Amino acid sequence: MAGRLDGKTAVITGGGNGIGRACAERFSAEGANILIADLLTDPGNAAAEAINSSGGSARFVEFDASSQEANEAMAAAAVEHFGGIDVVVTAAGISDGDYRSGDIESQLKRMAKAGEAAANNPAAPLIELDIDNWRRVLDVNLTGTLLSIRAAATVMLDQGRPGSIVTIASIAARDPLWGSPSYPVSKAGVWMLTKNAARTLAPLGIRVNSIGPGFIETNMTEAMVSVDEYHQRVLDNTPMGRRGTPAEIANVALFLASDEASYVTGELIHPDGGWFTG
């Protein structure tokens, strides 16, 4: 069934890679105009070009999710190019303060360093946590989500037609996982922000829901699964015994974005291969 977002405009933050890119492609195939907003220019442009060359309509804007001005500019660009905003997916996110999507080597080095620190002192992930790093994770994942919701909702309210906002949390919203608290705390915040925004915006015709993926095949998990011990830990906790694909998350996002979810708001859905069956 195609055309579930015909004539609509979707903004996808973090749409240059992984889950965001899969949402952009899936939403385009369902008829939406796509504004990709990402920190990284090359993958952002590549994602927009791929959509345009397969017959869709997409633009890219460079953007830092943690900046209020950048979020306002992102919303203004959607209005300028496509006449408004109907759907937003807030997929821009980082796993630690130094995370840069696609730079697997640096991520492996940071993991090795963290592993060494934890071997010397099991309390290190908490006691030795770098506060600037913690702040960056919260700035991008949590404050960034707030700023994107706010900028998009302002446009949706002005245009006076219903809208759907889909935030990307994680299983880490409800499971502390292992190591640094920054990421789980940021995602728990996204979950509660989603509920709060859903309650505020429901009477005004805007639905706000969240997706809490398990481990998905993207740049974010590549370094982790290249270390056997960590990969096995993920598989052992995932009854389906594999990582999910970005397309499997985009399918859930499409449902939440579309009118099929017209009575769904404030929800957190976990496409996680059964992580939370325990």
Ligand X SMILES: NC(=O)c1ccc[n+]([C@@H]2O[C@H](COP(=O)([O-])OP(=O)(O)OC[C@H]3O[C@@H](n4cnc5c(N)ncnc54)[C@H](O)[C@@H]3O)[C@@H](O)[C@H]2O)c1
Could you tell me the smallest distance in angstroms from the CB atom of residue 109 to ligand X?
Answer: 17
Candidate segments 32-40, 52-60, 122-130, 154-162, binder of ligand X by CB under 6 A: 32-40
CB 22 within 8 A of CB 99: no
Report which secondary-structure segment, H or E, holds 224.
helix 219-225
Compute the least distance from the CB of residue 95 to ligand X, in Å.
6
Q: How far apart are CA 111 and CA 22, in angstroms?
A: 27
Please tell me whether residue 17 binds ligand X under the rule CB under 6 A: yes
Spatial distance between the Cα atoms of 98 and 25, rounded to a whole number of angstroms? 27
As a whole number of angstroms, the distance between CA 263 and CA 247 comes to 24
Show the tokens assigned to 70.
Answer: 């950048």
Residue 238 · residue 215 · CB < 8 Å:
yes
Among residues 91, 151, 197, 256, which is the contact residue for ligand X, using CB under 6 A?
91
Contact call for residue 219 and ligand X (CB under 6 A) = yes
9 three-class SS = strand
With tokens 């385009």, the residue in question is 28
**Which tokens is 270 given?**
């976990």
Residue 180 as a binder of ligand X (CB under 6 A): the answer is no
Q: Which of residues 44-83 bind ligand X (CB under 6 A)?
A: 63-66
Residue 220 CB, shortest distance to ligand X, in Å, is 4
**Given the residues 99, 183, 230, 263, the one annotated as active site:** 183
**Closest separation between CB of residue 251 and ligand X, Å?**
15
* Residue 183 is a catalytic residue: yes
Residues that bind ligand X (CB under 6 A): 13-14, 16-20, 38-40, 43, 63-66, 91-94, 101, 140, 168, 170, 213, 215-216, 218-221
Q: Which residues are catalytic?
A: 183
